């Protein structure tokens, strides 16, 4: 699995559905550079089981992300039409109606490949020389925190059955923004209001001595 932390987030142009039902062509994360932080996350498929719990959890905390100047963007290998249908299906029927943040269509799977979260890979069938896909042609549950300069500052990738923690994502946003604002570093299990550390040997020693 590739590590993108410290690197430019791969950019793309793709179909997306925004505001719960509006089609957008050539949606790009580039629109946020210089303006917003981005939490860009992948999920395997629309109309499945773990995925709506995550997506609805992000929607529930969307105001908290917006307070922190963070755009939340989801992505799967489904078509824009599948996204639209899911967004317009009631929760009681397995839908995610009410979700407002963008859902990107990675029908070609190139975005998932570029972020190295595709749960499989293309290979050559030695018998006929044709390209075949080995594994699951869906994305792992990858999540990337991208700063306003377009640099990845945090990433986590879960296997398909394992849902992510939206609260942990918010904690990482808070930690990174604290680092940017104060120049200190955040120790284990840091939360807003906790002590941080000077990034020096004395800073670490002083922190450990007081905790």
Mean pLDDT by 10 residues, the chain (211 residues): 92 97 97 98 96 97 98 98 98 96 97 94 73 82 98 97 97 97 93 91 80 88
- Neighbouring residues of 179: CB distance < 8 A, sequence distance ≥ 6: 185, 186
In this structure, the answer to whether residues 102 and 122 fall within a common structural domain is yes
Do 187 and 143 belong together in one domain? Answer: no
Domain holding 80: CATH number?
A: 3.40.30.10
Q: How far apart are the first and last CA of the chain?
A: 35
List the catalytic residue out of 16, 39, 51, 87.
51
Cα 187-70-62 angle, rounded to 5 deg: 100
Residue 156 lies in a domain: yes
- Are residues 144 and 206 both part of a single domain? no
Q: Is residue 75 annotated as part of the catalytic site, yes or no?
A: no
Angstrom CA distances, 83 to 28, 93, 104, stand at 17, 15, 8
How confident is the model at residue 135, as a pLDDT? 73
**Whether residues 84 and 99 fall in one domain:** yes
- What is the β-pairing status of strands 70-76 and 37-42? parallel
Q: Residue 134: what pLDDT?
A: 75
Q: 96 and 179: one domain?
A: no
Q: Say how many CA atoms lie within 13 Å of 3 toward its Cβ.
A: 4
Using alpha carbons, list the distances in angstroms from residue 170 to 30, 190, 196, 200, 201: 22, 12, 17, 26, 28
How many distinct structural domains can be found in the chain? 2
CA distance 8 to 27: 18
Please say whether the beta carbons of 38 and 73 come within 8 A.
Answer: yes
Range of the domain at 60: 14-162
* pLDDT at site 1: 56
């Amino acid at each position: 699995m590739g590590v993108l932390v410290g690197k430019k987030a791969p950019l793309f142009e793709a179909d997306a559905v925004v505001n719960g039902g509006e089609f957008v062509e050539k949606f790009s994360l580039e629109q946020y550079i210089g303006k917003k932080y981005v939490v860009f996350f992948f999920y395997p498929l629309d109309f499945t089981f773990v995925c709506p719990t995550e997506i609805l959890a992000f929607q529930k905390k969307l105001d908290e992300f917006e307070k922190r100047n963070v755009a939340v963007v989801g992505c799967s290998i489904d078509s824009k039409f599948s996204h639209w249908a899911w967004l317009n299906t009631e929760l009681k029927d397995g839908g995610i109606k009410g979700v407002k943040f963008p859902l990107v269509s990675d029908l070609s799977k190139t975005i998932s490949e570029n972020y190295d979260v595709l749960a499989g890979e293309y290979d050559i069938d030695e018998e006929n020389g044709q390209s075949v896909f080995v594994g699951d042609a869906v994305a792992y549950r990858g999540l990337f925190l991208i700063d306003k300069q377009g640099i990845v500052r945090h990433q986590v990738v879960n296997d398909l059955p394992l849902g992510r923690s939206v609260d942990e994502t918010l904690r990482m946003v808070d930690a990174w923004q604290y680092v940017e604002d104060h120049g200190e570093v955040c120790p284990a299990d840091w939360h807003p209001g906790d002590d941080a550390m000077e990034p020096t040997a004395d800073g670490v020693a002083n922190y450990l001595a007081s905790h």
